[in-house]
């Protein structure tokens, strides 16, 4: 059955937010139109404790968008964003969340970030999404939201690895773009077997 996964459509990733994705809010009306076409709607929510290890402010001498080596590999450092309970962590106020049956929170452990909705950034610790989808026999995933080059990309790649059919809705995602990372993300997603579609194909 068709399942819509709405990734991190939160205030901090929209214009005016702490880690604003250019034109991030433009996907909201597109996604609101799509929701009625899906049997199941799931959302993710970036949900960091204060002092999270992905924040540049937690690493003396570092600034946002620098990288550091963590135990699990390279990590980009971000401005403080999506702090648990903050307005920035709330979903965009115009996003229709009524039909969302599950909200997967991620990045809530201080010492590890989580881009993918399936695994934390150590690529080992599961979020539980695979189990949920399999228990309900949901094999057909349609991914939208923010940001194309981080949480969307990693969710798409891991979804394919976990055996799901994954389609990315091109006009319902936007990216951060650090040194061409959006273009790179599209290449990686297509290479892995993701199908790229337009929202008009679903309406
Ligand atoms: C994201 C950077 C840090 C995302 C989350 O949702 O793509 N990017 N945290
Ligand atoms: Zn984050």
What pLDDT score was predicted for residue 103? 98
User: In CATH, what number is assigned to the domain containing residue 156?
Assistant: 3.40.50.850
Domain assignment present for residue 19? The answer is yes
Residues spanned by the domain of 175: 2-49+87-201
Cα distances from 71 to residues 58, 61, 77, 116, 127, in angstroms, run 16, 19, 14, 18, 19
Which residues have a Cβ under 8 Å from the Cβ of 87 and sit 6 or more positions away? 11
Give the model's confidence band at 133: pLDDT under 50 very low, under 70 low, under 90 confident, else very high: very high
Give the model's confidence band at 173: pLDDT under 50 very low, under 70 low, under 90 confident, else very high: very high
The verdict on whether 110 is a catalytic residue reads no
Query: Tokens 């990733």 label which residue?
Result: 13
Task: Work out the percent of the chain whose per-residue pLDDT is above 90.
Answer: 100
Residue of 46, 106, 144, 149 marked catalytic = 106
Domain assignment present for residue 77? The answer is no
What pLDDT score was predicted for residue 1? 84
Q: Is 147 in the pocket of ligand 1 (CB under 6 A)?
A: yes
Read off the pLDDT of residues 21-66 as tens digits, 9 standing for 90 and up: 999 999 999 999 999 999 999 999 999 999 999 999 999 999 999 9
Q: Could you say which DSSP state residue 132 is in? A: H
- Rounded to an integer, what distance in angstroms lies between the CA atom of residue 28 and that of residue 47? 20
């Amino acid at each position: 059955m068709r399942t819509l996964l709405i990734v991190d459509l939160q205030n901090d990733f929209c214009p005016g937010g702490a880690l604003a994705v250019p034109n991030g809010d433009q996907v909201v009306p597109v996604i609101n139109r799509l929701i009625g076409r899906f049997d199941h709607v799931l959302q993710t929510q970036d949900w960091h404790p204060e002092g999270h290890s992905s924040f540049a402010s937690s690493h003396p001498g570092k600034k946002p968008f620098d990288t550091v080596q963590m135990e699990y590999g390279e990590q980009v450092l971000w401005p403080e964003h999506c702090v648990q309970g903050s307005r920035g962590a709330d979903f965009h106020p115009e996003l229709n969340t009524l039909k969302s049956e599950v909200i997967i929170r991620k990045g809530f452990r201080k010492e590890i970030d989580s881009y993918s909705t399936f695994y934390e950034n150590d690529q080992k610790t599961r979020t539980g999404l695979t189990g949920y989808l399999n228990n309900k026999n949901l094999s057909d995933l349609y991914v939208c939201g923010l940001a194309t080059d981080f949480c969307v990309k990693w969710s798409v790649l891991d979804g394919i690895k976990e055996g799901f059919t994954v389609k990315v809705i091109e006009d319902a995602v936007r990216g951060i773009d650090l040194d061409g990372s959006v273009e790179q993300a599209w290449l990686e997603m297509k290479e892995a077997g993701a199908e790229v579609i337009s929202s008009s194909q679903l309406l």
